[in-house]
Amino acid sequence: MKLVVVESPTKAKTIQRFLGKDYRVMSSFGHVRDLPKTKLGVDVEHDFTPTYVIPTKSKKAVTELKKSASKADVLIMATDEDREGEAIAWHLLQALGGEEQKEVQRIVFHEITNNAIEEALAHPREIDMNLVDAQQARRILDRLVGYNLSPFLWKKVAKGLSAGRVQSVAVRLVAEREREIEKFIPEEYWTIEALLQSQTTEFLAQLIKIGENTIPKLGINTEKETDKIIKDLEGAEYKIESIEKKATQKHPFAPYTTSTLQQDAWRRLHMSAKFTMRIAQQLYEGTNLGEGAVGLITYMRTDSVHVASSAQTAAQKFIEHEYGKDYHASRIFKTKSRLAQEAHEAIRPTDPRRTPESIKEYLDARQYKLYDIVWRRFVASQMSSARFDSTTIEIETDNSKQTTDNKNYTFRATGQIMKFDGFLKVYPIKFEETMLPDLKEGEILDLQKLIPEQHFTKPPPRYSEATLVKTLEKEGVGRPSTYAPIMSTIQDRGYVEKDEQKRFRPTEIGTLVNDMLVEHFPKIVDIAFTAHMEEDLDNIAEGKTEWVPVIKTFYDPFKKNLEQKYENVEKKDLTEETEEVCEKCGKPMIIKYGRFGKFMACTGFPDCKNTKSLEKSTDVPCPKCGKGKISEKKSKRKRTFYGCNQWPKCDFALWSRPTGEKCPECGSLLVEERNQNKCSDKTCGFIAEPRGT
């Protein structure tokens, strides 16, 4: 009997379906060994040797695997193909003690299909210790930072805080963006459009030049300048100076990587990175389509856009059959990542003939939506470009009748008409078709009116999950397997929270911790340094360097700096006096900082442990009891909501911030949701005009 070990029971069930009675497929239920929770678990005096233990939750699985392994002739490790999967395979082997007694094989595959499994079994290899060492190095680095910096924060800031190597960089990005927003000063600028009449129809053109000088975005920045231009143009003649027509194309995007899938899932489906990966894991591991479990997509942790030739051929056959030969175009996308052993293929459907609609009945709503965008993105990537006819018309004014400085002004109108939809047939994206009338050079146009419009520059937006993942990837911080955990960790630790538009803003404690780390441990939160560390881990994975020197180069100066900071940095006094008295012991209450921000505590601690949460009032009267005010609160999962401050006497609550205004249709409170004011009564459905219009 051959024992095949994977991480997930779903994955085990799918693979077992493809294998005969000579194989038994079992699950390890994830990692079976890890560093201990109660101590550092790294011997810094002896080459950072880690001490691994089997967690309590894994002991039952290890016991069952050992029993089966003792009866097996061959152990086959079929864990995921990335560093994490390679490390799980190695840890499994150590825990099972099978390396000295059994024939051990390591197999990898990018998709869970019959052909892929057969191909993997036909070409087994040994465990790649370079990948294992890279994973160990990351784990040890993170442990050294977390278990050394966290106690420092407890002593110098507040109890219960923690620090992480990569997560701290993400918090810094969010905190610095918030400061940019706070310091931002809007700048005024104006645009001028002309509504022009040809012999057949009206169209708009925008002012782009004054004389020979092109107007930059902020080129017209006062109403006075605008009025002068309007005055100059009184009585001017508008003549078509040039007409340029050309064919343009829109090309399809590359198929998804982990990062782009998470970004698109957030933008299109409002799925968090963590939730996206959970659903993608389900699609990868296998879904029952009526004839047993089938893997629907390829491995979802990848930074490659490479597509296997067999997948390209399958896509070609499908596209030509469904849409015609004109719609197919073979494309090869270049991968930025240099980790060939970790980035074999992009995320794609295992069979393009399996359209989303054809399997919709077997998927839940979330699985269907995610599979739909993966399928469309891949199929579109192998399709022809969309073709457009574009027209650019420049109109010059003749101001010779004017008595001012006699400058000519140039306006521009652009039009675009789609001639062939190409990949847009399966992957719609927003674009605007603008029809311009048939015109001739030298033709004189009639001015209907000039339209000046005032604008103000806007501050940079807060990071969403999509834009934060994109920035981390661009800066080289983190890798495909880490983006989702980073998004979750910075929220779970209470360092960032989401606003009404679901964008990140730093909490008070997050800002405090970030400022402390930036001042005293700048390398830990330095983007370039963290990106360089990722490159070192990549070099370990590629066998170009050893892991111990990488850890030592980081740890020695880090430890020395930490020891100095313990001596030199004074504890921050974050307490604030209040006029409140503890109702339990009568002593004064003070405001303190904790892991999740400010709270009120009794000065009689530890004899009296009375605490209260601090609520931010919105000054909006409670519509239910009429006595209380709506306050910002935190749920048990630290999610922000809004409820009456008279709780538990009044249980009125909302998930979205109330505006203080009432719905003109039903009288319920209006709330802020995704840049719109909506009625809090979902049965009403009233939506006000978007803010800022």
Contact present, 425 and 470 (Cβ < 8 Å): no
Is 299 a known active-site residue?
Answer: yes
Residue 77's DSSP bridge partners are 5, 106
The CA–CA distances, whole Å, from 219 to 190, 207, 327 equal 8, 11, 44
Q: Are 207 and 228 in contact (CB under 8 A)?
A: no
The secondary structure of 255-318 as a DSSP string is PB-HHHHHHHHHHHH---HHHHHHHHHHHHH-EE-SSSEE--B--S--------HHHHHHHHHH
Give the ranges where 323-388 is alpha helix by DSSP (H).
365-381
CA separation for the pair 301, 44 (Å, rounded):
32
Asked if residues 268 and 428 have their Cβ atoms less than 8 Å apart, the reply is no
Q: How far apart are CA 4 and CA 312, in angstroms?
A: 30
Closest CA to 91 of 153, 141, 135, 144: 135
198, 445 in Cβ contact below 8 A?
yes
The pair of three-digit structure tokens given for residue 311, joined into one six-digit string: 């997948």
- Say how many Å lie between the first and final Cα of the chain, rounded: 70
Out of 23, 256, 284, 299, pick the active-site residue.
Answer: 299
Cα separation, 442 vs 185, whole angstroms? 44
**Partners of 450 in beta bridges:** 194
Cα–Cα distances (Å) from 647 to 83, 134, 624, in that order, read 49, 51, 12
CA dihedral 173, 550, 147, 523 (to 10 degrees): -30
Do residues 4 and 76 lie in contact, with contact meaning Cβ atoms separated by under 8 Å? yes
Spell out the residues 6+ positions from residue 538 whose beta carbon is closer than 8 angstroms to its own: 134, 338, 339
Helix (H, G, I), strand (E, B) or coil at 57: helix
Where in the sequence numbering do the catalytic residues fall? 299
